[in-house]
Chains A and B, each alone.
Chain A
Amino acid sequence: MKDQPTRVLLIEDNPGDTDLVRLRLVEGKSPVDVNCVNRLADGLDSLKKRSPSVILLDLNLPDSRGAETFRKVLESAPNVPVVILSGQDDEELAMKALHQGVQDYLVKGAFSSSSLDRAMRYAVERQALLRSLEMSRKQQLEFKNQFLSHVSHELRTPLTSIHQFTGILLDGLAGEMKPEQRDHLKTIMKSVNQLTAMVRDLLEATRAESGKLCIESRCVAIGDLIRQAVAMMQPAAREKGVGLEVGVDTRIPLVHGDPGRILEVLINLIENGIKFTPQGGAVTVRASLVQTDPDFVYISVMDTGCGISPEARALIFERLYQDPNAVDNNRKGLGLGLFIAKELVNLHGGRIWVASEPGSGSTFSFTLPLYSIAKLLLPVITHEGRLREDIVLVKVGLKPRSKPIQANWRETCRRCFDVLQRCVYLDKDLVLPAMTVGGAEETFVVVASTDLVRANVMMTRIRKQLEKVNGLNGTGELEVSALAVPLPERDGELSLDGQVERVARTISGMVRMVLGDQSSPEGQ
């Protein structure tokens, strides 16, 4: 900075002010190379071409005023320090700018060349300092997350030992156990399972924090998932003498989300509900649509337990938060469950919240996005502002021959999806997201902008390619068929969006029929 002239970008429209600043800069100690523009647009252009060392910015320009000005500059050049030249009445705005990332401000008409010089040098230094602090913070966060991942991995080895040998004793593989001994072993096993859950939560929470949690979204029948979660939690509920009920609106369409993750959230909330409800109480899980928010499904888990105080309600979704009034001291866990649930729901694009009064139970609610075929269809079934002439649905059914290993079948289905994508023309055909159907069968639907005759060619190609998929050959049955989609009149009264909506509804109906004999009777 001492030898090279400091490159300064001055964005100022008032000629008098410009001259004054130039004068001050020239009078100053360090050599400067000034580029002056008098419109924000020109300033932003200049930033794209070459990065200055510092920006001197007037807030009121012909093409931008006030907060908008510094916001745009900061967005355009986040790593260049900015010093604001504010009018005498603008000090409050200048302060606001400081909070948003501007380094300093000077009041016009009240600065000398040395204060301008000092302000620019200070701005550059401060910016460098903030960046190095930010990098250090990021490194620390990364280190912490790697450390937690490592710890949760290492803990599994001794946990496994305990789990294995306790199981061996319990199952009588090392001699007959007396009833009292079996009881003690069961207690150990319960703790091992809790520890395992904590280790898993630790890893999940760590991943959530570093943004590494992944969800794989597909079409999900939320009613089925809720019933599955409830079935899994019934034994625990019965053991505690707490009722567990379900109420799912049968009109709910498919939800777009990751079934495994949604199940995790449901189980977490139901588990909490049971935990905090005394014997004789009940936990109710509901799913419904809300008129004022048509793109989401609303799911709630209500318990008749002790309720949550207002102070706790504000903190309950934070990490490691544990209600100090928890009744059952044995089952505290790490306090990460709700944090993880919140992260998972947010990843889906939903919200999670709690309503509760101490003494009268709590209701945890969350939303999940509904699957919108119309949004996915729009770019595919329209062309040059009009609806395509022919649309055909191609259904691809995969059925395993005998009971498959879960993970392998999932992997096979994923591969089939990838292969399907490669069998179609992605600018005019759409492979709908995978739909979770009851049992192991997987059904894919391709919306193809073509007629039935040409669809036959596509079906042959699909059959040939899928038969080659490793894992399907010999283990699964393939069924490919096509249906023409009845279309509304292209030149009728509906707008293009309206036509797409209508086609989307038709296709939804056809898909429901296609899945109909496989999904549960209360399905979509």
Chain B
Amino acid sequence: MANSKILIVDDDPDLRQALRLRLRANNYDTVNAVDGYSAIAVAYKEHPDIIILDLGLPAGDGFVVLDRLQKDDKLSTIPVIVLTARDPQSSERRALMAGAAAFFQKPADSAELLEVIRATLPKTATGTVLPS
């Protein structure tokens, strides 16, 4: 069975690389986007199972992306995990109300992040994780 596919949206190449290493070591496939605009384009093309989204992005920040995702029939079903340097007091509630499934502040504990990814992936009736 194919691996689940995760779209990483962050303008920081180091973070993208670190996440990629982690996720692949846990048998997830990854694709990247570096800004708000390409985030939507890549989501359309690749139809990932989960999106990990930074908030401070060029060309349309994370909230613009969340909004666009919610408005699209196909894309709105993809769960979004926000991973941002911004602090929860100002951003967490807003992100969750905008449709995010979870909120993490950088640096995030890898084990916790992986656990939430696992719990958030769409599952089949038998509890097997569905690929895209």
Interface residues, chain A, with chain B CB atoms under 8 Å away: 153-154, 156-157, 159-161, 163-165, 167-168, 171, 173-174, 192, 196, 203, 207, 214, 403, 405, 407-408, 411
Contact = CB atoms under 8 A, between A and B. Distances in A.
15 contacts: A157-B15, A157-B106, A159-B106, A161-B15, A164-B18, A164-B19, A164-B22, A167-B22, A173-B22, A173-B25, A174-B21, A203-B87, A405-B101, A405-B102, A407-B92
The A contact surface, by secondary structure, is helix
Interface string B80-116: 0000011101001100110001110111001000001
B46 interface: no
A165 B86 contact: no
Given A167-B22, A171-B25, A192-B107, 7 more contacts: A153-B85, A156-B106, A160-B107, A165-B14, A173-B22, A173-B25, A405-B101
Contacts of B119: 403, 405
A370 to B, nearest CB: 26
A280 B101 CA distance: 46
B4 interface: no
A207 B89 contact: yes
B85 to A, nearest CB: 4
B85 A160 contact: yes
Nearest to A193: B107
Nearest to A154: B85
Contacts of B85: 153-154, 156-157, 160
A411 B19 CA distance: 27
Nearest to B15: A160
B122 to A, nearest CB: 13
A273 B75 CA distance: 51
A196 B101 contact: no
A161 B102 contact: no
B12 interface: yes
A164 B85 CA distance: 14
A9 to B, nearest CB: 45
Contacts of B22: 164, 167-168, 173
Contact of A407 (B18, B87, B89, B103): B103
A411 B101 CA distance: 11
A163 B18 CA distance: 10
B38 interface: no
Interface of B: 12, 14-15, 18-19, 21-22, 25, 85-87, 89, 92-93, 96-97, 101-103, 105-107, 110, 116, 119-120
The B contact surface, by secondary structure, is helix
A165 B22 CA distance: 10
B107 A405 contact: no
Nearest to B18: A164
Contacts of B89: 207, 214
Minimum-distance CB pairs A-B, first 4: A164-B18, A163-B107, A156-B85, A160-B107
Which among A154, A160, A165, A408 has the greatest number of chain B C-beta atoms within 10 A? A160
Given A160-B107, A164-B18, A165-B18, A408 B25 contact: no
A202 to B, nearest CB: 11
B99 to A, nearest CB: 10
Contacts of A163: 107
A192 B93 CA distance: 27
A14 B93 CA distance: 63
B120 A405 contact: yes
A173 B86 contact: no
A451 to B, nearest CB: 37
A405 B82 CA distance: 13
Nearest to B24: A173
B18 A161 contact: yes
Given A153-B87, A156-B85, A164 B107 contact: yes
A411 B96 contact: yes
Contacts of B106: 156-157, 159-160
Nearest to A192: B107
B93 A405 contact: no
A320 B9 CA distance: 37
A134 to B, nearest CB: 27
A512 B101 CA distance: 34
B28 to A, nearest CB: 13
Nearest to B104: A407
A172 to B, nearest CB: 9
Contacts of B92: 407
Nearest to B26: A173
Nearest to B56: A153
B102 A157 contact: no
B109 to A, nearest CB: 9
A11 B93 CA distance: 54
A56 to B, nearest CB: 49
B71 to A, nearest CB: 16
B114 to A, nearest CB: 11
B60 to A, nearest CB: 19
Contacts of A154: 85
